[in-house]
Structure 1
Amino acid sequence: MELSKLLTPGAVRVVGQFTSKKRLFQELGEMAAQTYGLTAAVAIDSLQERETLGPTGVGHGIALPHARLEDLKGIVGVFLRLEKPLDYDSVDRQPVDLVFALFAPKDSGVDHLKALALVSRTMRDPGVVAKLRANTDPAKLHAILTESRAPQAA
């Protein structure tokens, strides 16, 4: 599995700021709708529902919200770089400025977990994170996220 299969260039944006996590989820859902044809309201509700199980802010300014949806053919992602970090209730209580959201079919099983692990590994790479924070061009951000890396253990 490669990030280039999960993330299209149109699913990467730089946004100034959000006033709440709910507003962030609305943007992620709308991006998924525009890019992949998902129903925005369903994507937004699914992200919010998953978040009630526990925060998806993994620390170091990174959030990995994810949701499983009916009628989705494959796993897809959207990425946002926030110019002004958002309070996200992360595990380390730090605000978030890098958000990679995944949407997977309801029955994706282990593939959803593999995709989440791939995104997590990528977003834990200090070099990748530094490059993401140093760039504001969506095309460059997409290239940074999808460049081939040697596989590592999770």
Structure 2
Amino acid sequence: MDYPHKTTFQFISEPSDINFGGKVHGGSVMKWIDQAAYTCARTWAESYCVTVYVGGIRFYKPISIGEVIKIECAVIYTGSSSIHIMVEVYSRDFSEHVFEKKTHCIIIFVAVDEKGEPKKVKPWIPQTDQEKHLEEYAIRLKDLREKIHTEMKPFFNE
């Protein structure tokens, strides 16, 4: 069955991903998140998208070199031109059969046209109770971001 609102990547972490502590560098994980989420957003939007927000990134446990990485992305909310993607990062050793959650976050993209202007996207309509809860979560996060932005505005030169 085809799920145009979901994307899954799987691959192996490589020695070039290592940090000074001997684990996968957080920057590598963030790059993977952006790549997988971009694929999910672009598939949904059917056009070029730009990253406008990454929030709530939470690193639970380190990832070791040579582990199988799985990144699951799903559309959880759409605005007029924005696509809100939930991302979960898992890994497992080859000797294990079960993936363990290592990281999660929300990443937002805006679909743009050839001139770089925001482009309307088709609405995402949640079907299951879980999808409805995730959409409500995305809306609450959006409201919180707007409140934080308003509160911090006096401190930024815009």
**Comparing both structures, which one devotes a greater share of its residues to helix?**
1
Q: Classify the TM-score, shorter chain.
A: 0.3 to 0.5
Structure with more of its chain in strand, by fraction:
2
When the two structures are superposed, what TM-score results if normalisation uses the length of structure 1?
Answer: 0.36
- Structure number with higher relative contact order (C-alpha < 8 Å, ≥ 6 residues apart): 1
Please say which structure displays the higher CA radius of gyration.
2
